[in-house]
Amino acid sequence: MLRQPILMLARSQRVKSLVSAMPVSSGIVANHVPGETTADAVRATSELQEDGLYVTLDYLGEDTTDAAQADATVAAYKELLAELAAQGLAAKAEVSVKLSAIGQFLPESAGFGGGHKIALENARDICRAARNAGTTVTLDMEDHTTTDSTLSILRELRKDFPETGAVLQAMLHRTEADCRALAHEGSRVRLCKGAYLEPEDVAFTDKTDIDKSYVRCLKVLMAGQGYPMIATHDPRMVQIASSLASRHGRSPGTYEFQMLYGIRPEEQRRLAAAGETMRVYIPYGTEWYGYLMRRLAEKPQNLTFFLRSLISK
């Protein structure tokens, strides 16, 4: 019931400026975001890797309409990748990139053929830096208005960087077909349920329908030739994925589990200890507002905790 209003607030600039004054170290933010700087991200990476976990790092930011901001995001990823390589952490750390943070929404007037092309070139730059560091990039998926543009950028990037991964959201009606198209050899696909507020004509809005779609998509990916990345905290989905792995003779390492930083950490360690590849998504940076609101929408029980942190700031 609260999911819709919280997700609407996620895009409110007024609420964002109010809430963003809260320090990243305050309770609820710190539970989901380890810090604002490259050093914070590298420290979190090192700690998780010591526990046998893999990571993917997201320099927070989205929906930018400022070319300088997009350039700064690219620079932040390059700095991070160089630091991961320097510290010997890159083999078990990749990066996750939101195309709207690196220019997808820039207008035609920004030059270079507009937002789609700018995002493609910026993503190419990050993929090159990732390859130099010895690792890979996964393109996060945002709301359904960006899906075609994101998948088209993925196709372009994969010509030079075939290791680039994509994210598909089970809540969208189109996703089962997208899974079929991307279940080929060499294709890395992260399957998640979907975190955005979507209209009924393009998405399942009922939780049971989203879960059923997740299972259908999982079946396609696990039966396929690609590398499925199973991104969920849902114990049922983890169990179904494990059964599908056995059914298709997939050993750990031919697929992986993914969960978000700070969510079900004991389960993350349990799966890693059981021999599974378990990757933790680490968001970092100052632009944590939209990310935090999406997490609150998934677990409105945390709202009281969140409001208390706001009042005591």
Annotated binding-site members for FAD: 141, 169, 193-195, 207, 232-233
Q: CB-wise, 79 or 298, nearer to ligand FAD?
A: 298
Separation in Å, CA 66 to CA 11, 62, 95, 105, 120? 16, 11, 22, 9, 16
Helix (H) or strand (E) segment spanning residue 8:
helix 3-9
Pattern 128-157, ligand FAD, x by CB under 6 A:
------------xx----------------
Judged by CB under 6 A, the residue of 48, 90, 231, 292 near ligand FAD is 231
Judged by CB under 6 A, the residue of 131, 264, 269, 286 near ligand FAD is 264
- Is the CB of residue 309 less than 8 Å from the CB of residue 20? no
Judged by CB under 6 A, the residue of 110, 112, 234, 310 near ligand FAD is 234
For 177, the token pair is: 């077909």
Measured distance CA(219)–CA(110) in Å, rounded:
42
Residue 281 found at the interface with ligand FAD (CB under 6 A): yes
Q: Which stretch binds ligand FAD (CB under 6 A): 102-110, 174-182, 193-201, 305-313?
A: 193-201
Catalytic residue among 58, 140, 143, 178: 140
String of DSSP letters for 272-301: HHTT--EEEEEEESS--HHHHHHHHHH-GG
Q: Which residue has the tokens 């207008």?
A: 107
Is 247 a residue of the active site?
no
**Listed residue (294, 206, 303) closest to 9, CA to CA:** 294
Q: CB-wise, 27 or 112, nearer to ligand FAD?
A: 27
Total residue length of the chain: 313
Is 190 a residue of the active site?
yes
**Listed residue (115, 166, 119) closest to 141, CA to CA:** 166
Residue 193 found at the interface with ligand FAD (CB under 6 A): yes
Pattern 156-175, ligand FAD, x by CB under 6 A:
-----------x-x------
Judged by CB under 6 A, the residue of 6, 133, 154, 195 near ligand FAD is 195
Q: CB-wise, 70 or 260, nearer to ligand FAD?
A: 260
In single-letter form, the type of residue at position 145 comes to T
For residue 230, list its beta bridge partners: 191, 257
**Which residues in this chain contact ligand FAD in the complex, by CB under 6 A?**
140-141, 167, 169, 190, 192-196, 231-235, 258-260, 263-264, 281, 298-299
